[in-house]
Structures are given as C-alpha cells and as structure tokens.
A and B are shown apart, each in its own frame.
Chain A
C-alpha cells in the first residue's frame, strides 16, 4: 500500500501496536537542555531508574545561557544570575552523574539545540528525534520524525527509549512554483500558518512538498519545519533528496564508507509514495508568496508586507473580534494601518528558527555598508552556535553587523524566549526572526513582529517594515538620514 513519509518513519520505529490504539515508538536520538530536563533526571533518581541507552542522549545548554562573552569567559562561574547558574550547573551535574555526553558552554560546538543537532550529524535522516522543546519539529527538515515532548516524556524516553504515541494524521502542504527573490522558508511558514491557523495542524504530521520546497536549502527547510508547531503540528517533514544528503555528508556523527552507502540507500526511500493518501491537503502558489510580517499576538495574525492590519468589522465572530481587539491593544496598533507604517525600536536576529549561517548571510547582504536607523535602540545578532559564529566571522559578517550598529553576541536562545537578560522592555517593539509573538514572549509587555532575517535587517535600516527587495536596492533611504 502506498505510504506517506510519516507512515514510513512510523513503521520503521514501531515497537508495539496496542489494541487501544496506542503504540510504543522507539526513539533514536534524544536531545536535552537545561530547562526541561532537571525534573526528569530527578524523577529517575527518585525511582532509582537508569538510562535505557546512554548513547542515544546528547545534551547542550542553550535556553538560559548568557550571550555576553564577558559573562561566559569562565564557564559558569561568571554568570551573574545565581538561579540561572544553578540550572546550568544542574545540567552539567546530571550529565556527569548519568554519563550523558554534553557539549559544555565553553565548547565551540555549543549552540541552540536545534542548530547544534544537525550541525553535528547528531540528527540524521530517518531518525526519530525528541527533545523537551516544541521546536524539535525543526529536524523534520532532514526527513526525520522529530517532535517536542514534555518533561514527563523526557523522563520516559531516558528510562525506556520509547514514547507512548497515537499515530497522527497526514497533512500535505504543497508549495508550487518558485519563490521570488527575498522570499524565504520563514515566509512560507508564516503564509501557511496564516492560511490554516495556529490550530490547523493539530493532530497532524505536516509534510511540505512541491517545487518551492525542493528549491529550499537545508537551512530554509529547517526554518519551515521549525514553525510547524506554530501551526499546531507536533512535527513537520520534508522528503530526503540530494540537498539533504549533501548537507549531512561529512558531518561529525554521520556514517561513513559502507555505512553511508547503506544509509543513503534507505534515506532515498524516505519520501511519500506517488499514490499516498493524505487526510488533508493545501496548495500554495510559491510565486505569489510575499515577505510576511506578523502584526498580532499569535503567529496566525500575519500579513504580507504589502498588506495592512485587519479591521474589527471584518472578523467572522465575536471571539475573533475580541481576540483582534485585545491584540491591537497589546501591540499598540490601529485597525487598517499599513504594515509598512509599523516602526520597530528593536531588532533580534537569531533563534532556532533563523540563526544558521544562511540566515546571517541573508541579513548581512541587506545590511552591508548601511547603518541601522537611529530609532532602532536595540539590535542583537545572536548566532545559533559557536560554529555558525566562527563561520560568520570568517566571512566577515560580524563586521557588517557591528558597522551597521548592531551587537554581535555569543550563541544561545537569547531574546526568542528571553529567559536570560536579553529581553524587551514593556512597550518595546521588535522585528524578530524568532517563532512566537505571544504576549510577553520576548519580555513582559514586549511587542514582537515575526519576520525573516532579511526583512528584520531591512526594517532595522529603514526604521519601519519595508519589502526586502526595495531595501536592498537602496529603498531604505531613511537609514541614511
């Protein structure tokens, strides 16, 4: 019978199918970080349980680390916040006690767990991958079945190498044609969420396919799958092709020689069969997707950069109307205003969505030789890992950011969730390459507009949102003032 990619990955990891519809699914790779793991290790200790398979686990600190070099010079010792220091120390201690491999804070390979994983080949096509973080969906870009789990499930995977699951439904998201210059995986993600809503993918595995997806780099596919969770789907998927194989060949933990040959043979089957049946399908015309900007407090509150903020009168029902009114009030916007009239006073380029080398190149290409607008008071560029940072510095991108008036930081989750000191002040408005624009997400009272790296860079120069192509052509004339 014809199968979807998700069906194939499910079948390859099915340990036990039970009569009540639940199943035991085997987990190949478990990524851990400091925020959602301490209670799981504590649970194991209390129950006197050990790890099922130690070598399946790989840990890295990322969510709650400082991004200032001065605060990281001495490992954890120089971190000023004692509560954070204890959390990071607890990860180190747990990894030592359970003999879990950890990439420590002072290692050049340290970075955001979803940047580090593929970069090291710790995540590979065909794997099942979990992590106590909802953006684990990122790894579906490799043709891996990857999703976020809660801490109880972290403990469950540590102890049993399995998860109790119910099979999800299949959702085909086809993006035809080719993206216009300046339009990225981020814009596809926002366009899809705008179309199906933040609950549209609930209960589904989302497979992205079509010519526009095939043309994306691995980085672009990771950005897209990363945001599957913002459409409600625990996992996003992209079929394996040459782009995938070229990306993983030679990665530190990727197979070599005969094992690579065997792996490649299997990986090349990791695509949905022609006749596979999907429970839901949407088709978007990639040629028509414009750069997107979120205007509200949910990723589905999104518009083209050429569009405007919706009007109350256009809302379909009372709940939607109240939601819009609350979002407008929180965001300090008026109904019907053009998106290009929105003026950020902060810019954040980073996060597991958009902190890979290609993202930094995109932003740097727009910023090259320009200065950010005087009205932009805070502008952070936070590379996704130490290796991304080193590569960017090799290419001179750090100079471009610094010359533009931006800060060049150490790797971590930073202002995407603002657990550390990188956060917005109440009322501050940010053009952010992250993934969530929820109330208070980037700091209590902070206002987030989600965009691609190039769009964030263009807004930084112009002082308001502009179509990225126009800015690259010198349309950001206000930046020269």
Chain B
C-alpha cells in the first residue's frame, strides 16, 4: 500500500448525502478481474451522458457538463468533499480502487459507511470525518474560492485551511500507523501466526464440527 503522510491537494465537491458504492462504480464494471483501471468509471452514470460498458474508450464518451468533477476548476483534485454516510451499500472494493485510480487520496465527510471506510484505508485513501458544521463551512469556502486547496497532515492529524487555521481530526490509531508506513495488513497479521495457531487448536478441540472438511 502507498503510504500517506501529508497531502496538499485541490478539493472537489460531491454535494449529496448517502453516496453509495453502486453510484461510485456501476455494476457492469465489476466484471473486471483486475484491481486497476477503474478511475475512468468513477461515478460513471453521473460523469458521462451515455451508458458505460466495460471496454469502451472513455476518452471518446460524451461528458456530462453539469457534473462538478467534469468542471475545469476541479481537474486534478485529490480531496473529495462530500456529505454524510459516504460509501454506503455494496462492499465492492472497486469503489476504493476507482477513487484511488482517479486521483483521490482523501475524502472529507460528516460520516462514512463502515465497509467503504475499511476498504479506503487499505488502499491508501484517508477518510476524514468532521463535524457537520465544519463540512458545511468547507462547502461554503469551496464554492466561494476557485482552486481551494487543503493541506492534510496525518502525523499531526490536522487539516490546514488557506487562512492558516488548523483543524484537527481523529483516525483509528492502528490505521493511522499503517497509512503512515504504508504497511501491508497480511504481513502484520502473520507476525501473530503462532497465536493464531494456538487459538485454532483450542477452537477445534471445543468446536470440532467447525473443522470438518467440506465434502459436497
């Protein structure tokens, strides 16, 4: 996983609540067996005027001129500002892969859905939950100032606004450490292999039926 330490990024809006992962990556793109290449299909139904299918040359597709991510002023954005319950619905990690592939490294919202939050953190994307009034203030600032940038510093858990104000945020200590160091979860867990083995032995002695081989 790519480490996340400090990000000075352009902010783009997704001004609606309950953005679900179906909206982030429509199902037809889930046929891919790859982990990469989902960026062009992020918010596909909203971004393009035609109906997207896998294998299309997205550079030739008609863009929806009313969708903010298509606005010139938000090109190159790496921070998405959005509303409550971002990432609800399906567990598809393709949503996080698409965000990352598109260029987003950070999402700011009043709240996130659990599974998306977990998926994002495993893909080097930092979800920051701020109070609803802070998010509202950022939306006001964003709409009033073209080219709004924020500096997100994970080590100090702070966001610096253009006027120099520092806002703090909190993030799970374990996840923060993994992000800062770009650590792979599996490698970490395998450091506890002995504990897992010991647990497994006791578990099997207690619940032997859980360890039956599956024969169908």
Contact = CB atoms under 8 A, between A and B. Distances in A.
Nearest to B28: A419
Contact of B209 (A22, A84, A255): A255
B3 interface: no
B181 to A, nearest CB: 14
B31 A64 contact: yes
B189 A24 contact: yes
Interface in B105-146: 111-115, 118-119, 122-123
B88 A124 contact: no
Given A151-B93, A263-B209, A439-B45, A58 B214 contact: yes
A359 interface: no
Nearest to B19: A438
Given A149-B91, A149-B115, A164 B174 contact: yes
Contacts of A166: 172
A322 B51 CA distance: 25
Interface string A443-479: 0100000000000000000000000000000000000
B23 interface: yes
Nearest to B195: A16
A276 interface: no
Contact of B192 (A16, A202, A232, A419): A16
B165 interface: no
B207 A199 contact: no
Contacts of A58: 214
A202 B215 CA distance: 37
B195 A148 contact: no
B119 A152 contact: yes
Interface stretch (A31-39, A209-217, A218-226, A385-393): A31-39
B30 A152 contact: no
A398 B195 CA distance: 52
A148 B115 contact: yes
B17 A323 contact: yes
Contacts of B93: 36, 39, 132, 150-152
Nearest to A203: B114
A259 interface: yes
A78 B172 CA distance: 48
Contacts, number: 204
A385 to B, nearest CB: 13
A126 B203 CA distance: 12
B91 A439 contact: no
A419 to B, nearest CB: 5
B189 A156 contact: yes
A240 B53 CA distance: 45
B18 interface: yes
A119 B201 CA distance: 28
A202 B114 contact: yes
Nearest to B117: A202
Contacts of A263: 207, 209
A312 interface: no
A461 B137 CA distance: 51
A77 B199 CA distance: 44
Categorize the interface residue count of chain B.
35 or more
A155 B20 CA distance: 23
Contact of B31 (A84, A161, A255): A84
B207 A15 contact: no
A418 B118 contact: no
Contact of A152 (B123, B177, B196): B123
A340 interface: no
A166 B88 CA distance: 19
A148 B91 contact: yes
A120 B192 contact: no
Given A36-B92, A87-B31, A150-B96, A438 B113 contact: no
B113 A150 contact: no
A26 B193 CA distance: 12
B89 A436 contact: yes
B190 A159 contact: yes
Nearest to A85: B31
B88 A198 contact: yes
Contacts of A436: 20, 22, 89-90
B91 A127 contact: no
Interface in A236-272: 252-255, 259-260, 262-263, 266
Nearest to A163: B189
Contacts of A418: 27
B186 A132 contact: no
Contact of B90 (A64, A134, A234, A255): A134
Interface in A62-86: 63-64, 81, 83-84, 86
A181 to B, nearest CB: 32
26 contacts: A20-B174, A22-B174, A24-B195, A35-B31, A39-B34, A39-B93, A58-B214, A63-B30, A87-B33, A101-B214, A101-B216, A134-B90, A150-B91, A151-B93, A159-B190, A160-B189, A161-B196, A162-B192, A199-B113, A202-B113, A203-B114, A234-B114, A298-B18, A419-B28, A436-B90, A440-B22
Given A35-B31, A266-B207, 15 more contacts: A15-B195, A20-B174, A64-B31, A87-B31, A103-B216, A122-B214, A134-B91, A150-B93, A159-B190, A166-B172, A199-B88, A202-B114, A298-B18, A436-B20, A439-B22
Interface of B: 16-18, 20, 22-23, 26-28, 30-35, 45, 51, 54-55, 83-85, 88-93, 96, 111-115, 118-119, 122-123, 172-174, 177, 185-186, 188-190, 192-193, 195-196, 199-200, 203, 207-216
List the 7 closest pairs (A to B, CB-CB), nearest first.
Answer: A255-B209, A150-B93, A38-B33, A150-B119, A199-B85, A148-B91, A134-B91
